[in-house]
Structure 1
């Protein structure tokens, strides 16, 4: 049956497959995904409420953590409700405009998350390597300005992908072999040359990851040099533990991101269900782990959380 069109070349809607090759099993796959999403929402909202309520936490590290929590909430919520609708209810249809909006939010806030992780690494560098100048170098207005710049960077870099997709004719192709709208997954449905989309996607990925990973690597290299020079073994172990947990978070974000990105371009031999599951976990693992690693393992935040529950008699 032909699709109605919002224009001569744009379908009225797309159909999301879910997990190609696992259409029967994805009903059960949705349960761990739902559990992870619930933990992510509860953990990140708790972090935001605690940081907002406690003035002692209005410091650069915790303000960046609040930005990370907001980003994680937006990222996971832009994907999971629709994904669960596909897995449990068979609600696969998504409007053309809604698909572009979801795509824009996902890619923008993935870029924002990378930028916030970079800003947090710079904050740790200043705190460890320039402790006496930490407050003067990163006052609250500077922290908020960095957050605004990271968001603006994401919007400016990702917006052209939507315009590139809008210019393409889709010739009634409307089945997306994915659980959510992703730039190249949508571009592949077009019946016109999409090399401009691929080239621009590469430019954005390498611009963001190249800049952010370089600054993160330099920051943690300098931090480790300072840590190794500490006279106390206990202090070194504590610092190593903190750095290791932060680096694990970054690996959990960047490794699935690069896997998904490269699979679209050079990973034709990778089974589709493996690619899509990793892409889904990319939307879930960082939002689930971030409040645990940065919240539970951070003494100041964990202490405030315990204090709040004690006040309420829980």
Structure 2
């Protein structure tokens, strides 16, 4: 059976699109139409269940990390400051796309204003670059802590950590800005329908009818230069870390030292591998089904914010201990309150019985 053309599969959305879109040029359309996951519209409600679960876990997990680090003085060190910066980045990253995605799945709310679409796209990639920068900063912290432990407290002072965090934020905000400005000036003369759950850069870029080579090359520059430089410095840091670890005299010392890097390495793999896979699939996977592109594009944005707090919570003893003390303290307080209430009730009841006698 011949496959139904894409334009006919989305025919029920044509009233939303601009009229005579094949012949009429329009610059900066007032709205875009997000299709969600093309080809899987009937399953949107079911797909929303894992999406919503991932979002709730990400919100609870990252807020828990922020709360524990704030409440535990022993965690007020550079490693956990960078972890808090990563948690805030994950919160913004997941919140920038999930509410709109769920509104498509649940309420069929497909329209998004042109400026809102560009704003979503800017925040999305701005915070992706920030997340990569914070992973590089955390690798620097591990390098100094393991290779130069005596200089760790003097090298990574609070003021230095704050400056590194500010530099990462400014780099993310500034380096994405040219791409954002270029897209805002494109003429969109084909259609305003985006076959995605959010304003993904490649999906929006395919709607432009002007010369998009500059924006495409700039996107490759961001992928291979910015992300590539971060990965290079992370790799360089871990080469030095591994050299220092293998120079330790005993196997127990090597395992214990390497264990301090385990959570960071897991988080790095969770972030970079799906990101790279999604980018390469979009650019070179022309025979890959469209719904697979969309699902991968969502997973590499949603899964790391969910897994990062779990990884650090499971593999970091200080966070486990603080969380356990917090839970047991609440249980002790609850049972103490209940016990006190029962004692008071019995005392009152005993008093009434004496008075009654």
TM-score for both structures, normalised by structure 1: 0.94
Q: Structure 2: 5+ residue runs without aligned partners?
A: 1-14, 20-24, 333-357
Q: Does 1:169 align with 2:175?
A: no
Q: Distance in 1 between matches of 2:158 and 2:319?
A: 19
1:238 deviates by 3.4
Q: Does 1:72 align with 2:113?
A: no
Specify the alignment match of 1:213 in structure 2. 231
| SS of structure 1 residue aligned to 2:137 | helix
Please tell me whether the aligned partners of residues 3 and 12 of structure 1 are also in contact (alpha carbons under 8 angstroms): no
Q: Distance in 1 between matches of 2:86 and 2:228?
A: 20
Specify the alignment match of 1:157 in structure 2. 175
Q: Distance in 2 between matches of 1:262 and 1:26?
A: 26
Please tell me whether the aligned partners of residues 142 and 261 of structure 2 are also in contact (alpha carbons under 8 angstroms): no
| Segment of structure 1 superposing worse, 303-312 or 95-104 | 303-312
Q: Based on CA coordinates, which of the two structures has the bigger radius of gyration?
A: 2
1:9 deviates by 1.2
1:15-39 Cα shifts (integer Å, max 9, x gaps): 1111122221232111111111111
Specify the alignment match of 1:49 in structure 2. 67
Specify the alignment match of 2:55 in structure 1. 37
Please tell me whether the aligned partners of residues 64 and 119 of structure 1 are also in contact (alpha carbons under 8 angstroms): yes
1:220-261 Cα shifts (integer Å, max 9, x gaps): 111112222222322323344443442222121111211222
1:129-163 Cα shifts (integer Å, max 9, x gaps): 10000011100111111011001001111111111
1:285 deviates by 1.2
1:257-306 Cα shifts (integer Å, max 9, x gaps): 11222233222122211111111111111111110111231111111122
Ranges of 4+ aligned residues in structure 1 off by more than 3 Å: 1-4, 238-245
| SS of structure 2 residue aligned to 1:312 | helix
Please tell me whether the aligned partners of residues 13 and 93 of structure 1 are also in contact (alpha carbons under 8 angstroms): yes
Q: Distance in 2 between matches of 1:75 and 1:146?
A: 20
Q: Over aligned residue pairs, what C-alpha RMSD do you find?
A: 1.7
Q: Does 1:112 align with 2:130?
A: yes
Q: Among 297, 303, 308, which residue is 1:285 paired with?
A: 303
Q: Among 106, 113, 117, which residue is 1:88 paired with?
A: 106
Please tell me whether the aligned partners of residues 111 and 154 of structure 1 are also in contact (alpha carbons under 8 angstroms): yes
Q: Distance in 2 between matches of 1:9 and 1:127?
A: 53
TM-score for both structures, normalised by structure 2: 0.83
| SS of structure 1 residue aligned to 2:97 | helix
Q: Among 144, 155, 159, which residue is 1:126 paired with?
A: 144
Q: Structure 1: 5+ residue runs without aligned partners?
A: none
Q: Distance in 2 between matches of 1:189 and 1:241?
A: 47
Q: Among 276, 283, 289, which residue is 1:258 paired with?
A: 276
